[in-house]
Chains A and B, each alone.
Chain A
Amino acid sequence: MLPFDFFRYTLKSVTAQRLRSLLTATGIAIGIGAVVLLTSLGEGLQQFVLAEFTQFGTNLISVNPGKVTTHGISGALISNVRPLTIEDARILKNIPQIIDTVSVVQGNAAIESGGRQRRTTIYGVDASAARVWRFEVAAGRFLPDDPPRAARSFVVLGSKVRRELFGSSQALGARVRIGGELFRVLGTMESKGQMLGFDLDDSVYIPTGKAMALFNRDSLMEINLLHSAGSSSTTVAEQVKKVLVARHGSEDFSITTQEKMLEVLGGVLDTLTFAVGAIGGISLLVGGVGILTIMSIAVNERTGEIGLLRAMGVERNQILALFLGEAVVLAAIGGLAGLGLGVGGSWLCSLLIPALPAHTSWSYAAAAELLAVVVGLLAGVLPARRAAALHPVEALRAE
């Protein structure tokens, strides 16, 4: 039998039962699709998440009020929790390895200018924030280093807020109203894009003291610490803890180092990868069982044909090859569909999240298709062996 004829014969057997073959191939398609998606996004996803979380710098530690027990952040509302204060931040700055601190208060408020109004996120921060978070000022400058209690009413606008309020007209020096108080625009920021769905450009920055007054609170929501590149975040965190426990009397705050955060995120990513991998694996298994089932049915249905082929001089191992070939063709079709799914899926992902690099390498695609073929071979062995073992006379009698 010529190789081309062999291929044509098996393909024809598969296409003769179009719907059945399609359904059988679906399991393999989903499995291979998941595998391809994983390999296409896997590398890029790690890099993407790392880039997302280090865009504010790498040596950051954040301190929040309240003890974090799980991964959720409990509010600062628990009664026996002493609030974090600007004074805490000032004292933490005395730790030698700590270069800078940012006292953060955050909330939502309307910002208004020349009849235009917009609800936006207000960040109360120190002058150090631009440095610590690596924000680039587009025009003007960032907040001045005023004493916390006597900060002047300056505001720095995120790029989106500037665009919405001022359009193409000059924003620097203009007066805007936030919660009833007038602020002078001192600077505007470069576009920073989104981080995990938060629009960083749709926010404005005012001095911490002003924000505390605005939101009517006398404590901070967070203190960000920048430590020197040479120091270990764990050691610094230990020192921060010692200082604060001494001041507060107990550990009524929680410290998150960036390392820890990345670790947690890495764990989440690993879980995600594992889940998609498991779905892929299970689909391949189910697909394989599907092929085994459908090939067993095919052998039963086509017993007469097997007898005929034997009568025409086809040997046992050729019967074996024919049915193995059919299983492989089924799996290969599923595999190709899976490649399409995987490549399409990763393309869609990179369309939705432009920063997420998706790349399917040919070698991975070929390996995935090979995997499908191997699943087909394994699934086909049993039915094909049964077909080959049939006695021609018995086979011909079945009709």
Chain B
Amino acid sequence: MIQLRHIERVFMVGEEEVHALRDVSITAEAGEYIAIMGPSGSGKSSLLNILGLLDRPDSGAYELDGTLVSNLDEKQQAAIRMHKIGFVFQFFHLVPRLSAFDNVALPLVLSGVKPDERQTRVSTALAAFGLGNRARHRPDQLSGGQRQRVAIARATIMQPSVILADEPTGNLDRSSGIEVAEILEELNHQGMTLIMVTHDPDMGKRSRRQILMVDGRVEGGKGEDRSP
């Protein structure tokens, strides 16, 4: 379960204060599927960065699965990113010199999982994402949709409890975008909490719950379930 309470995030641009997040409070149950929407510059990415422990709020509290993670130190936060959070990015962020297999294996490598266990886990994941015959291909030898599937396989290989996706379909055509969304939804079905930033209203409608951000605020109350 995720709980954000009164999160503030202010950037200093020269002399000026930019309020990226203003008093954001959100609760998300484990296994929820949430779309974060809103105009450009409204704070969607800032919110996701806080949720992913990539950035610290200036004030407010963040509780993840019962732990007050906003108070943890760097090292502990890194451990939580490694084991509990999977990131999916608009521009895939694959390591260009590594094969699809090695990209997916990267989190396992970093957390010290032994090679033979990696082999089975990564092969299973690649097969499950329809990439069984692409294991040895480098990212530049894959289509956009395939790249994003590799990225999702990598984000979920550690079995995180939360997937954070910032416009995962933003760089894909319609059909591969839908394909990627279906994969993410399938993972959500298996129990992972899915929080996805999107500009696309059709994508947003697929989720059970949408959060609308405007000018750093969660529009329409405090982010309670607004779906019919």
In the bound assembly, the distance between CA atoms of A47 and B55 in angstroms comes to: 67
Tell me which residues across on chain B come within 8 A of A316, comparing CB atoms: 74
Question: Contacts A311-B87, A313-B83, A315-B74 given: A1-B110 contact, CB under 8 Å?
Answer: yes
Chain A 375-393 interface 0/1 with B at a Cβ cutoff of 8 Å (1 = within): 0000000000000000111
Q: Which residues of A contact B109 (CB under 8 A)?
A: 1-2, 5, 9
- B98 x A12 contact (CB < 8 A): yes
The size of the chain B interface, using a CB distance under 8 A, is 26
A393's contact among B49, B75, B83, B114, by CB below 8 Å, is which? B49
Residues of B within 8 A of A313 (CB): 78-83, 107, 110-111
Per-position 1/0 for A11-26, Cβ under 8 A of B? 0110010000000000
Whether a CB of chain A sits under 8 angstroms from the CB of B7 is no
Q: Do A2 and B112 form a contact, CB below 8 Å, given A12-B97, A399-B91?
A: yes
Residues 51-95 of B, flagged 1 when their CB comes within 8 A of A and 0 if not, give 010110000000000000000001100111111000101010101
Smallest beta-carbon distance B117→chain A, Å = 12
A312 within 8 A of partner (CB): yes
- Size category of the binding interface on chain A: 20 to 34
Complex CA–CA separation, A374 to B101 (angstroms) = 34
Per the 8 Å Cβ criterion, residues 111-127 of B in contact with A are 111-112, 114
CB distance from B131 to the nearest CB of A (A): 19
Does A310 touch B at the CB level, under 8 Å? Answer: yes
Is B106 part of the binding interface, using a Cβ–Cβ cutoff of 8 Å?
A: yes
**Which residues does chain B contribute within 8 Å of A5, judged by CB atoms?**
109, 112
Are A311 and B52 interface neighbours, CB within 8 A?
yes
Determine which of A2, A305, A315, A396 lies in contact with B54 in the assembled complex, contact meaning CB atoms within 8 Å.
A396
Asked if A13 and B75 sit within 8 Å, CB to CB, the answer is no
Which B residues touch A281, using CB under 8 A? none
Since A314-B78, A393-B55, A399-B91 are in contact, a sample of 5 more A-B pairs with Cβ atoms closer than 8 Å, ordered by chain A residue number, is A1-B110, A310-B54, A311-B54, A313-B107, A396-B89
Interchain Cβ contacts under 8 Å between A and B, 17 examples: A1-B109, A1-B111, A1-B112, A12-B97, A13-B97, A304-B91, A307-B93, A309-B110, A311-B52, A311-B54, A313-B80, A313-B107, A313-B111, A314-B110, A396-B54, A396-B89, A399-B93
